[in-house]
A and B are shown apart, each in its own frame.
Chain A
Amino acid sequence: MAGAPPTSFRGVPVAGVHAGRRERAWVRFLLVAFTLGFLGVFLILPLVLVFSQAFESGVLAYWTAVSDPETLHAIRLTLLAAGLSVAFNTVFGVSAAWALTKFDFPGKQILNTLIDLPLTVSPVISGLIFVLVFGLQGWFGAWLQAHNVQILFAWPGIVLATAFVTFPFVARELVPLMNELGRDEEEAAMVLGASGWQTFWKVTLPNVRWGLAYGVILCNARAMGEFGAVSVVSGHIRGQTNTLPLHVEILYDEYQSSAAFAAASLLTLLALVTLVLKHWSHLKQSRLLAEASRSLELE
């Protein structure tokens, strides 16, 4: 008997309900076709093109382009900039989220709003800010030159610009999550005798670990792909201050299209890996949250 629908469910009324609830077949077909077509033209096709262009002149040419010293240097610089910005922004993001969710202090709203600034300002302007601050005509320019410190047109400038552009990602991911989790467990840990440091490592961090991973992945993806801000501060010196996105542009401008696409394919590959990791960590955190809310329901 189990699973067999009661007979009263069969008949005209049910069919009527179904017909009323669902869209007509051709409407459904059109919507799906439009969505898939749009995705195909604007997402899948470019993705395929990047790789087909990259391998246009054969695997050997691809390998030559990728293992070119200038490309390798661009990869190294990109990894350095991304690595340092992610490290800095993880520390900053966690402290900002902690401060915003666990304490009440004057200026909290302002800080909360300011964190989003890099997302709302055009990257080119973010780059220009650093030129204004560290350039020869800028505030610290003369002092820096006198002390022989090179920030603009060198890797420190690139790291700074990248870090600035990517700093909201970790904090933005953690703030709502930590708000939802509340302060109860931290308070429990404190009453049980844990120090602030112990509370953070043993209670807070394990609870937000997947959300943190999600933020770090997004931050990293943006850091590696950043073009505008970095372009302004880098000076485009080949083999010295070119990151991978800048390198792609230069190659393309010089009509070395398969070399450009080869370098671009590396960034694309990174995007795909990011997408998978992002999805996975998001899934993990939503499971944790679902479990938490399920335990609340059980009460």
Chain B
Amino acid sequence: MSIEVRNLTKTYGSFKAVDRVSFKVETGELLALLGPSGSGKSTLLRMVAGLETPDSGEVLLTGQESTTLSARQRNVGFVFQHYALFKHMNVRENVAFGLKVRKVPQAEAEARTEELLGLVQMAGYGGRYPSQLSGGQRQRVAVARALAPRPRVLLLDEPFGALDAKVKSELRDWIRRLHEEAHITTVFVTHDQEEAMEVAKKIIILDKGRVEQEGDPRAVFDRPATQFVADFVGETNSIEAIAEEDGLAVWGPLRFSIGTVAKGRRVRIYFRPHDVYVTSKKESLQVPATITGEFFKGAFTELDLDLGGGRRVYAHLPRGLSEASGFAPGAAVYAGITGFHVFQLD
């Protein structure tokens, strides 16, 4: 039940929606395709399902060459962003549709439908029509419908995109549990990095139709492979500097050890706001800074800092710590960077 994609390419006119993408999802894995809108993630998923035809490249399902198979021959489950439930059929008929068109015997189809409705916690709703359900209920019915014909893989296209925050987080938990129980190879597309990190064991980040990075959520967050990933995943400060000596970049009072980068090269340095360490007394490797703004963010506090000469960075620190230290606009403090990523620009 694995999915493999090799050098998949799709262009619309002169626009390269998907550009030589390859990846593999092992049996039972839960993978997220993460990227901004227009990154080609949905097109990629639709090519796996057989809803779009690639210009070149291959799709392998369970190790078998499937590029030329039509959508109905691939036996995949697909969940659409806007559910695409059949409006004129009730919930039971929707779920049974895939069984009916495959000529599954009536009794078996009925039993399977009830089983699925139970699995998605919609057992009492068989007679309702889609218009009588809430968004979250509809999406659960859509998942049940996709799973009913026992597909080889489950593909979800922005499955929670149209739901409000509360329902969204419930459904995320639910889909993760469902995956643990059913253990079906699952790929879902999202533009929401939190969603990808929370649900998936493995993330592929796409931009402009290309794979930027592949890895587990921690790796993607802690070790961004490209500037795009560093910028796109999580919040970050981003500065540009020139190596003043071999392996040393200077930005205002800050000095960054940048490995083997040669003198005179330009670099871009990313550091996350929680890697900016702010204290009221100077500690080692810290530089003077002035607080120019203080913002309440719930569990943490965001501080805008001026390092002198208009060089601004922002920091996140635990709310209690910030309040206890009396950090407020105008206060003179000390700041240090505890972790950063460097990309050479030229």
Residue B327, interface by CB 8 Å: no
Contact A206 B88 (CB under 8 A): yes
Whether A299 contacts B163 in the complex (CB less than 8 A), given A185-B86, A193-B149, A195-B72, comes out as yes
The answer to whether A193 and B134 touch (CB under 8 A), given A184-B84, A207-B87, A288-B87, is no
B131 at the interface (CB under 8 A from A): yes
What are 22 A-B interface contacts by the 8 Å CB criterion? A184-B80, A187-B80, A188-B84, A189-B101, A190-B51, A190-B70, A190-B71, A191-B49, A191-B50, A191-B71, A192-B98, A193-B98, A193-B101, A193-B102, A194-B72, A194-B97, A195-B72, A291-B87, A292-B131, A295-B87, A296-B82, A299-B135
State in angstroms the CA–CA spacing of A198 and B99 once bound together: 13
In the complex, the 6 A-B pairs of residues with the closest C-beta atoms, listed nearest first: A192-B98, A184-B84, A299-B162, A188-B84, A194-B101, A191-B78
Interface magnitude class on chain B:
20 to 34
B290 adjacent to chain A (CB < 8 Å): no
- A294 interfacial by beta-carbon distance below 8 Å: yes
Q: Nearest-CB distance from A158 to chain B (Å)?
A: 38
Given contacts A193-B149, A194-B97, A195-B72, contact A188 B78 (CB under 8 A): yes
Contact of A192 among B82, B101, B138, B163 (CB under 8 A): B101
Judged by a CB distance under 8 angstroms, whether B130 is at the interface is yes
Q: Which of A184, A294, A295 has the most CB of B within 10 A?
A: A295
A250 part of interface (Cβ distance < 8 Å): no
Check if B145 is an interface residue, CB within 8 A of chain A: yes
Q: Per-position contact with B for A167-204: 1 when CB-CB < 8 Å, else 0?
A: 00000000000000000110111111111001000110
How many angstroms between the C-alpha atoms of A184 and B85 in the bound complex? 9
A276 at the interface (CB under 8 A from B): no
CA gap between A185 and B89 in the complex, in Å: 12
A296 to B138, CA, bound (A): 11
Neighbouring A residues of B88 by C-beta, 8 Å: 206-207
A298 at the A/B interface (Cβ < 8 Å)?
A: yes
Contact of B149 among A192, A288, A295, A298 (CB under 8 A): A192
How far is it, in angstroms, between the C-alpha of A206 and the C-alpha of B93 when the chains are bound?
Answer: 14
Residue picked from A188, A195, A292, A298, most chain B C-beta under 10 Å: A188
Residues of B within 8 A of A294 (CB): 131
Please indicate the chain B residues that have their CB under 8 angstroms from the CB of A195 in the complex.
72, 101
With a cutoff of 8 Å between Cβ atoms, the chain B residues found around residue A190 in the complex are 51, 70-72
User: Given A295-B87, A299-B163, is A187 in contact with B71 using a C-beta cutoff of 8 Å?
Assistant: yes
Given contacts A207-B88, A299-B82, contact A189 B76 (CB under 8 A): no
User: Please, which residues of chain A bring their CB within 8 A of the CB of B149?
Assistant: 192-193
B43 within 8 A of A: no
Cα–Cα distance between A184 and B46 once the two chains are bound (Å): 12
CA distance A203 to B88 in the complex (A): 8
- Once bound together, how far apart are the Cα atoms of A296 and B50, in whole Å? 26
- Measured CA separation A291–B132 after assembly (Å): 10
Contact between A187 and B51 (Cβ–Cβ < 8 Å)?
yes
B286 at the interface (CB under 8 A from A): no
Selected contact of A198 from candidates B50, B70, B101, B130, CB within 8 Å: B101
Judging by beta carbons under 8 Å apart, are A291 and B131 in contact?
yes
* A200 and B163 alpha carbons, distance in the complex (Å): 30
Query: Which residue of B84, B101, B130, B146 is within 8 Å of A187 (Cβ)?
Result: B84
Cross-chain contact A192 with B145 (CB below 8 angstroms):
yes
Query: Is B75 an interface position by the 8 A CB rule?
Result: yes
With a cutoff of 8 Å between Cβ atoms, the chain B residues found around residue A298 in the complex are 131, 134-135
B57-103 residues at the A interface, CB under 8 angstroms:
70-72, 74-78, 80, 82, 84-88, 97-98, 101-102
B51 to chain A: which residues have CB within 8 Å?
187, 190-191
Considering the chains assembled together, what is the distance between the CA atoms of A194 and B82 in angstroms? Answer: 20
Beta-carbon nearest neighbor of B88 in chain A: A206
Mask, A256-299, CB within 8 Å of B = 1, is 00000000000000000000000000000000100110111011
**Bound: A207/B88 CA distance, A:** 7
Most buried by B among A187, A188, A189, A192: A192
* Proximity string of chain B (142-161) to chain A, C-beta cutoff 8 Å, 1 when within and 0 when not: 00011001000000000000
Contact with B along A200-220 (1 / 0, CB 8 A): 001100110000000000000
A-side contacts of B75, CB under 8 Å: 193
Closest Cβ neighbor of A209 among chain B residues: B88
Alpha-carbon distance between A195 and B75 when the two chains are bound, in angstroms: 13
A117 to B140, CA, bound (A): 47
When distances are taken between beta carbons in the complex, the residues of chain A under 8 Å from B84 are 184-185, 187-188
Please measure, in the bound complex, the distance between the C-alpha atom of A190 and the C-alpha atom of B69, giving whole angstroms: 12
Most chain B Cβ neighbours within 10 Å, of A207, A288, A291: A291
CA distance A278 to B74 in the complex (A): 43
Known: A198-B101, A299-B135. A292 touches B78 (CB 8 A): no
Closest to B163 in A: A299
The answer to whether A188 and B80 touch (CB under 8 A), given A295-B130, A295-B131, A298-B135, is yes
Chain B residues with CB under 8 Å of A292's CB are: 87, 131
Report the minimum CB–CB distance from B53 to chain A (whole Å).
12
Kindly report which residue of chain A lies nearest to residue B164, judged by CB atoms.
A299
Instruction: Please indicate the chain A residues that have their CB under 8 angstroms from the CB of B76 in the complex.
Output: 191
Q: Which of A188, A191, A194 has the most CB of B within 10 A?
A: A191
